[in-house]
């Protein structure tokens, strides 16, 4: 059985392995022992905290195969970004150079550094290990965050963003960074990426250009990747676009990957996930459904979620019928509330 739960201290070796596999550019999981340990501890405290409004909490989940105990992937949520460390983005916009006397009207694109997303919620750290990128695993790992947010709305902001990994060349170097490095930074991409990953962002304010950058003055290799995602990130972007996320011109400072956003209440999986009462039955025919359902309990620190077609929503009793094994995995009893979401493609 696949189970998503909050990360715990014993998951450190698995998280370190995921950090290695994710490679350069996956800023939210730096290959740094102290930072990874801090992320686990911070997540444990966040899940345990009694929250009335979003703050500096960070929630990290793992996807576990309960049959083998192996950790297959991870995903996370930052409750309110930019409060303790500034969150920087470029915003691509248009300015017009016009001279009526000469009959010149020239719109040009510019990149401007800003902190417009301060205080919003960020979904992040979505990584599914290569052998397990099959079936509904990625969909489940992505959507479980929205189920948790739907169940715990006080913990999160009204606006939700996701920073998508930007395009890279065959050597793993972002073409946009190559231009930025040659003009403003005297360090390679992996060094800058690690500094950001461990929370040391002061060099950005010190070295980043302070004035708008005219896009048409950039080399063609840098221009063409602005707003483009890494090839491995395309499936994740499609999932978010299907949820209602859209790109409003904000891109990452270093690789120019797009940041997408959506209002929490308008996210598809938030709107389409619902609560139901648990009915536990050993009768396989009674609980057999026609859809793959993601189901989670309504807890925070003891949060659990799984996915199965061996459960069925009964509209007459407004209840979800499930097996004893599934109920045990979710730590729920008869009459408890759970939240469910249809994971099948095209589900409404």
What is the DSSP secondary structure assignment for residue 112, as one 8-state letter? E
Q: CA-CA distance, 91 to 93, in Å (whole number)?
A: 6
Q: What is the signed CA dihedral for 318, 321, 327, 331, rounded to 10 degrees?
A: 0
Q: How many CA atoms lie within 13 A of 280 on its CB side?
A: 15
First CA to last CA distance, the chain: 25
Whether the Cβ atoms of residue 77 and residue 148 lie closer than 8 Å to each other: yes
3-state secondary structure of 323: coil
Distance of CA 222 to the CA centre of its chain: 25
Q: Minimal CA–CA distance to 114: which of 85, 90, 81, 86? A: 90
**Residues with catalytic function:** 230
3-state secondary structure of 205: helix
Query: Cβ contacts of residue 346 below 8 Å, gap of 6+?
Result: none
């Amino acid at each position: 059985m696949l189970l998503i739960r909050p990360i715990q201290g014993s998951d450190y070796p698995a998280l370190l392995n995921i950090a290695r596999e994710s490679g350069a550019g996956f800023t939210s999981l730096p290959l740094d022992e102290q930072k990874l340990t801090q992320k686990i501890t911070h997540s444990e405290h966040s899940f345990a905290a009694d929250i009335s409004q979003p703050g500096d909490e960070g929630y990290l989940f793992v996807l576990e195969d309960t049959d083998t105990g192996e950790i297959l992937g991870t995903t996370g949520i930052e409750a309110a970004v930019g409060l303790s460390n500034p969150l920087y983005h470029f915003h691509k916009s248009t300015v017009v150079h016009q001279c009526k006397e000469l009959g010149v009207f020239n719109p040009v694109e510019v990149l401007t550094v800003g902190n417009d997303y301060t205080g919003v919620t960020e979904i992040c750290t979505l990584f599914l290990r290569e052998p397990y990128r099959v079936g509904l695993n990625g969909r489940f790992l992505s959507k479980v965050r929205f189920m948790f947010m739907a169940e715990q709305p006080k913990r999160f902001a009204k606006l939700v963003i996701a920073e998508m990994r930007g395009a890279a060349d065959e050597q793993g170097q972002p073409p946009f960074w190559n231009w930025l490095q040659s003009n403003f930074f005297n360090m390679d991409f992996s060094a800058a990426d690690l500094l950001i990953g461990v929370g040391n962002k002061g060099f950005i304010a010190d070295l980043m250009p302070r004035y708008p950058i005219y896009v048409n003055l950039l080399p063609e290799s840098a221009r063409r990747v602005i707003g483009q995602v890494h090839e491995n990130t395309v499936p994740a972007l499609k999932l978010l676009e299907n949820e209602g996320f859209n790109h409003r011109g904000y891109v990452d400072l270093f690789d120019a990957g797009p940041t997408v956003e959506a209002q929490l209440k308008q996210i598809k999986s938030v709107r389409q996930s619902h609560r139901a009462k648990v009915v536990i039955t050993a009768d396989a025919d009674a609980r057999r459904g026609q859809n793959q359902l993601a189901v989670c309990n309504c807890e925070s620190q003891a949060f659990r979620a799984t996915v199965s077609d061996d459960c069925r929503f009964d509209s007459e009793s407004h209840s979800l019928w499930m097996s004893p094994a599934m109920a045990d995995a979710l730590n729920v009893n008869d009459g408890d509330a759970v939240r469910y979401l249809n994971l099948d493609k095209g589900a409404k």
